[in-house]
Homo-oligomer: A and B are copies of this chain.
Amino acid sequence: MSTFTALDVQDVRFPTSRSLDGSDAMNPDPDYSAAYLTLRTDAEDAGTALVFTIGRGNDVQSAAIAALAPHLVGRDVEEVLADLGGMYRELTDDSQLRWLGPEKGVMTMAIGAVVNALWDLRARREGRPLWLTLASMSPEELLDLVDLRYLEDALTRQEALEILRRGAEGKEQRITALRENGVPAYTTTPGWIGYSDEKLTRLLTEAREDGFEMVKLKVGADAADDERRMRIAREVMGPGYPIAIDANQRWGTEEAITAVRALAPHDPYWIEEPTFPDDVLAHAAIRTGIHPVRVATGEQGSNRVLFKQLLQAGAIDVLQADATRVAGVNENLAILLLAKKFDVPVCPHAGGVGLCEMVQHLAFLDAVAIGGEDERRRIEFVDHLHEHFEVPVRIERGAYMPPQEPGGGARMHPASIEDHLFPDGPVWAEEQAPLAPTPAR
């Protein structure tokens, strides 16, 4: 028997804007950050999760997570962990908190953090990585985690159960195959918009040498730059090599169609976030207008109802789930089921702080127990900030290899947290030094 004793939140920020790592057409100067949650018990263990943000507002996100403490502190741990479907619904159905969305934005990401921390703790207590904790559940147990409200015009309970039952057939063989081969990654490391052509060329070459079979470039700030960089990338990587492009919501519908058509001679594999993520009808129009270039979106998709509509409208070829944008593992499970129903591959969004470490569990679960074998499935990879995590991702021959260690992947080294606490950690104290007068020596 144990009890939740505290819900601690820390504001952790990395000064990534110094190096233009992570720069794109909409986000020129991100400071990759984490609203970092530790959910403690009197058994001296804890569940960990984080919400990824890009700097300012990480304090607001932290306050939103802290506001959920009354739902957990003092509760029986075993009882909560035994019914994570019930706990997820308790949090999302808190009618007073729901008003702040509904089911979107800061409060939903906060709920996602709590849900993910509970899953981390449950996996740790089972001694398993999160993907295996989930993959070990029966179809009925998995279905009970999902909230099908507002989805049943696209996915009935019976259809969801059938998907999960089909997913359970041959699961053991797929787990073995996963452990041998992993899930292919693609890398965004070369393609940040602030990098020089020389750096782009060097990093593209390294990506191929490292075994990656797909890369992605940021576009959308300047059409001539986009054309030049895409041309360079095609020359370096050769014909047929998949090169995705990502506009980070920079365009309207007509702009997107014009811009992608202009790059089409260089054979982009997909256009990611061509426009505003909520705009189902625009994505559908863009997809028609740029065929056969694929349309991808989802990293800022606010909830399962948006994904349902993107799928119903035939608006996307690729669904990019994120670990910290929606209400946690449970909502992502609904999204994986919807994608399978519509036969659209899920290629999770990663990068940021700890997203690689977290989203891989969703992709492994999908590969093993929901979507099954699908050569279109790839997980984004960015080679940033992994050194701060207790169990950093393991990439071999261009593929994510499944971790054996227990948990959901979000736990950071204590020293990394302390160094990057905002605004008083040593990294930020240094950062702000130039603003103060230089002391006499």
Question: A101-B104, A150-B282 are known contacts; what are 19 more A-B pairs with Cβ within 8 Å?
Answer: A27-B99, A56-B67, A56-B97, A60-B106, A60-B110, A63-B63, A64-B106, A102-B249, A102-B300, A105-B302, A150-B252, A150-B279, A151-B252, A152-B253, A153-B253, A153-B282, A278-B305, A281-B313, A302-B302
A275 within 8 Å of B by Cβ? yes
Determine the distance from Cα of A151 to Cα of B252 in the docked complex, in whole angstroms: 8
Q: Are A56 and B150 in contact (CB under 8 A)?
A: no
Nearest 6 pairs of A and B residues by beta carbon: A105-B105, A55-B96, A56-B96, A106-B106, A153-B253, A63-B63
A220 within 8 Å of B by Cβ? no
Within the complex, the shortest CB–CB distance from A183 to chain B, in Å, comes to 26
* 13 A-B residue pairs with CB within 8 Å: A60-B106, A60-B110, A61-B100, A104-B278, A105-B108, A150-B275, A151-B252, A153-B253, A153-B282, A278-B303, A280-B309, A281-B312, A302-B302
Q: Report the nearest B residue to A312, measured CB to CB.
A: B281
Q: Which of A28-36, A127-135, A361-369, A427-435 sits within the interface?
A: A28-36
Q: Are B59 and A63 in contact (CB under 8 A)?
A: yes
A254 within 8 Å of B by Cβ? yes
| A60, A150, A313: most-surrounded residue (chain B CB, <10 A) | A60
A149 within 8 Å of B by Cβ? yes
Q: Are A29 and B254 in contact (CB under 8 A)?
A: no
Q: Are B107 and A57 in contact (CB under 8 A)?
A: yes
Determine the distance from Cα of A281 to Cα of B312 in the docked complex, in whole angstroms: 8
Known: A59-B63, A150-B252, A309-B281. A106 touches B96 (CB 8 A): no
Interface string of A24-48 (1 = CB under 8 A from B): 0011111100000000000000000
Which chain B residues border A152 with CB–CB below 8 Å? 252-254
Determine the distance from Cα of A149 to Cα of B279 in the docked complex, in whole angstroms: 12
Q: Are B305 and A276 in contact (CB under 8 A)?
A: yes
A277 within 8 Å of B by Cβ? yes
Which chain B residues border A277 with CB–CB below 8 Å? 102
Q: Are A107 and B60 in contact (CB under 8 A)?
A: yes
Within 8 A of B (CB), among A67-121: 67, 94-110
A285 within 8 Å of B by Cβ? yes
Q: Are B96 and A57 in contact (CB under 8 A)?
A: yes
Within the complex, the shortest CB–CB distance from A70 to chain B, in Å, comes to 8
Determine the distance from Cα of A112 to Cα of B106 in the docked complex, in whole angstroms: 15
Which chain B residues border A303 with CB–CB below 8 Å? 278
A204 within 8 Å of B by Cβ? no
Within 8 A of B (CB), among A241-295: 249, 252-254, 275-282, 285
Within the complex, the shortest CB–CB distance from A62 to chain B, in Å, comes to 9
Q: Report the nearest B residue to A108, measured CB to CB.
A: B105
A221 within 8 Å of B by Cβ? no
Within the complex, the shortest CB–CB distance from A335 to chain B, in Å, comes to 14
Interface string of A163-180 (1 = CB under 8 A from B): 000000000000000000
Determine the distance from Cα of A60 to Cα of B314 in the docked complex, in whole angstroms: 37
Determine the distance from Cα of A284 to Cα of B64 in the docked complex, in whole angstroms: 34
